[in-house]
């Protein structure tokens, strides 16, 4: 297990509704110290966070979070606002009701529009795997690939379950080779994170991995 590789793949995350700026600031400092991939924070803190870190850390934020049933117009406005405030990575939640209704064209159009806004910013599409059948997951792998998103993200961490090894295997088998997988939700051990990475995940979304890894690194 390579702790530094895990940290470099980690979106150090704090999305708790009552999170304060002092907590966000602490998260940003940890993410910079341990060379994380990004800090994933609520949209309301993006501008302040970008001012705090400068070019030393990509700031990631969430759109349509955590339920995904906002209108496309509201998601587009939120995305544009986040990008203007300096976000360099966007994690958007799809509309799960549209999945269940088979409205695949609606889902693809929404992702396409947000992808167009993102330009050079990374786009991660959150599909909430715990709510999907395998057939739906496979269909979404094709849509996310065709839309040119940078990552398919498994989970918000706010639903009934998070990433599983079976989901990572299934997604990697059906997702385009140039699209990354972000495993997130319920990842509380370094061993789980490493397992997901060995199965094909290229990003890990988690709130506690940095502190766990830091304990080991400080003992070296």
pLDDT tens digits for 26-43?
999 999 999 999 999 999
Question: Model confidence over 126-136: pLDDT tens digits?
Answer: 999 999 999 99
Q: What's the Rg (C-alpha) of the chain? A: 16
* Cα–Cα dist 199/170, whole Å: 10
* Cα–Cα dist 136/186, whole Å: 22
Query: What percent of the chain is predicted at pLDDT more than 90?
Result: 95
The SS3 assignment for 203 reads strand
Residue-range domains of the chain with CATH: 3-219 (3.20.20.70)
Backbone angles phi, psi at 178, to 5 degrees: -85, -5
Distance of CA 75 to the CA centre of its chain: 16
Q: Does the pLDDT value for residue 219 go beyond 70? A: no
Question: Model confidence over 157-211: pLDDT tens digits?
Answer: 999 999 999 999 999 999 999 999 999 999 999 999 999 999 999 999 999 999 9
Q: Which residues belong to the active site?
A: 91, 153, 182
Mean pLDDT, range 53-77, rounded to an integer: 98
Mean pLDDT, range 73-89, rounded to an integer: 98
Q: Does the pLDDT value for residue 72 go beyond 70? A: yes
Best CA proximity match to 201, nearest among 150, 153, 135:
153
Per the CB < 8 A criterion, the answer to whether 3 and 190 are in contact is yes
DSSP string, 53-76: HTTSS-EEEEESTTT--S-HHHHH
């Amino acid at each position: 297990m390579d702790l530094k590789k895990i940290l470099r793949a980690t979106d150090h995350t704090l999305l708790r509704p009552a999170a304060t700026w002092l907590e966000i600031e602490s998260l940003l400092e940890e993410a910079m110290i341990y060379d994380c991939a990004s800090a994933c924070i609520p949209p309301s803190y993006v501008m302040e966070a970008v001012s705090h870190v400068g070019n030393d850390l990509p700031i990631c934020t969430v759109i349509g979070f955590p339920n995904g049933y906002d209108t496309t117009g509201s998601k587009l406005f939120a995305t544009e606002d986040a990008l203007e405030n300096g976000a360099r990575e966007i994690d958007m939640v799809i509309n799960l009701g549209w999945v269940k209704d088979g409205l695949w064209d609606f889902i693809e159009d929404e992702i396409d529009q947000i992808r167009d806004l993102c330009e050079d910013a990374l786009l991660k599409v959150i599909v909430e795997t715990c709510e999907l059948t395998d057939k739906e997951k496979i269909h979404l792998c094709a849509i996310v690939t065709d839309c040119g998103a940078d990552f398919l993200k498994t989970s918000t961490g706010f639903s009934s379950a998070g990433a599983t090894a079976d989901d990572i295997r299934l997604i990697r088998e059906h997702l385009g080779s140039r699209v990354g997988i972000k495993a997130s939700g319920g990842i509380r051990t370094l061993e789980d994170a490493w397992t997901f990475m060995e199965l094909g995940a290229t990003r890990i979304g988690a709130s506690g991995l940095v502190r766990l890894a830091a304990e080991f690194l400080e003992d070296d």
